[in-house]
Amino acid sequence: MKKDLKTLCLTLLLVMSVVMGKAQSNVIDEVIWVVGDQPILRSEVEFQRLSAEMNHEKIAGDPYTVIPEMLAINKLFLHQASIDSINVSEADVIRSANEQLNQWIQSAGSQEKLEEYQGMSIKQIRQEIVRYFVETEKISEAKSKILGEKKISPAEVRRYFKNMPSDSLPTIPEQVEVQILTLSPEVSPEEIDRVKNELMDYAKRVNEGEANFATLARLYSQDAISATQGGELGYMGRGELVPEFANVAFALTDPNTVSKIVQSEYGYHIIQFISRSGDKINVRHILRKPVVSDAAIEKVLLRLDSIANDIRTKKFTFEEAVLALSDDKDTRSNQGLMVNTVRDAMLERTMQTSRFTMGELPPEVAKKVSTMHVGEISDAFTMRNSKDQEVCAIVLLKNRIKSHKADITADFRTLAGIVSEKMKNEKIDNWIREKQKTTYISIKEEWRKKDFKYPGWIK
């Protein structure tokens, strides 16, 4: 019989216990709470407790009080999602599930070891992860429906902070504005030929019936997420795929043949058609990435150091160098200025800003600018770009806004976000208290506590 998410949590608990050297014998699982029609197992609590311990996360209070209550709150939202008939398409969460599965495989050491630990096939494990993400998405949708469409007004922000003592104002963390110039090391023709020959060999073996495409993808694809699924991407629209890949994928109709080699910004691919559903297509692919030599990287680093020196001696500006040389299409037309996408509480949508906290920057960039002065140009360094490719870069620190107490004028949008979050938390808090009154709740006697945040659990 297929194991459900609760059984998966128990299995993960045992895995983590072994990893931590804290394996427990004779673990007996049981239902300790019921919220609506949703049970909470002892294993779920232990899983969350050990997860926090492994991640060095401090639990504010008794874990056997805090964790069951947190799980119970989630069950309230799932109960509401069921009442509201909230459905989530598995296709919408498949990418997150694949990423999670890949992390688990890496932690276990291999797909085979993960299957051994779980006592399930990789397909079954993936199904349970998908189920977890579906539940998470349902909770998110239920919260969104509870909160509704109300936007915070400027008057509400000003009213909230008007009479607040200055020493009670929130602290705005340090922010920076950074310009970047990137160059990609050149891949040798021999290396490109090597990758293409590999892909042609895979295609030949599949077309002649000597090998299974999914098996080859698991063994050789460098798309770590889809490789665990035999290269399968799940149903995706044309706009969700890079153009070069989409043009070939959407032209395929025969699942028994393999596409020609496709070059994209991610590397080189071969593709196999699986099926269509409306305007979406499901395909498998194998990705191979050419390896850049150390000599090629060093050559570009030296070139960038030379460019940086020319900018310092005012032969040309950083902006001119970016426009003429940078191969980062996202920043080249913006004079190299890096752009941060954040949530705007006033408009209830995402917006773009040039300001980053250190934690929002790519780690290699943050390491450089942390000790730089405004107007200073870094020496050349390597980093991973958004396509997980190794590139070389130099950065200029354009501006540094030091950590400071919030100012109602200069930091208005940041303060709006704080007020918006507070108002949302209050609304959710009130909803939980009301929902407790109308939801069936049963708690085993030894799990009844006096210090729950929401006393309505015990009736």
Cβ atoms within 10 Å, residue 87:
10
**Average pLDDT, consecutive stretches of 10 residues, N- to C-terminus, the chain (459 residues):** 37 40 51 92 84 77 92 93 84 73 76 78 80 87 88 86 82 94 95 97 94 94 86 89 95 93 95 93 95 95 97 96 91 92 66 89 95 97 86 97 88 85 92 94 90 90
> How far, in Å, are 69, 94, 234, 287 from residue 275 at the CA level?
43, 16, 10, 20
For tokens 């936007």, what's the residue?
151
What pLDDT, on the 0 to 100 scale, is given for residue 16? Answer: 41
Q: Look up residue 332 and give its two tokens.
A: 């080249």
For tokens 């090998």, what's the residue?
211
Angle at which helices 111-118 and 122-147 cross, to 10°: 80
Domains parsed from the chain with CATH numbers:
5-150 (1.10.4030.10), 174-186+293-402 (3.10.50.40), 189-288 (3.10.50.40)
What pLDDT, on the 0 to 100 scale, is given for residue 411? Answer: 84
What pLDDT, on the 0 to 100 scale, is given for residue 133? Answer: 85
Q: What is the DSSP string of 190-215?
A: HHHHHHHHHHHHHHHHHHTTSS-HHH
Coil/strand/helix, residue 86: coil
Nearest Cα residue to 159 out of 411, 415, 421, 428: 415
DSSP assigned state of 270? E
Q: Look up residue 437 and give its two tokens.
A: 């009154």
What pLDDT, on the 0 to 100 scale, is given for residue 306? Answer: 97
Cα 74 versus chain centre, distance: 21
What pLDDT, on the 0 to 100 scale, is given for residue 150? Answer: 75
What end-to-end distance do the CA atoms of the chain give, in Å? 36
Coil/strand/helix, residue 385: coil
What pLDDT, on the 0 to 100 scale, is given for residue 49? Answer: 84
What pLDDT, on the 0 to 100 scale, is given for residue 18? Answer: 37
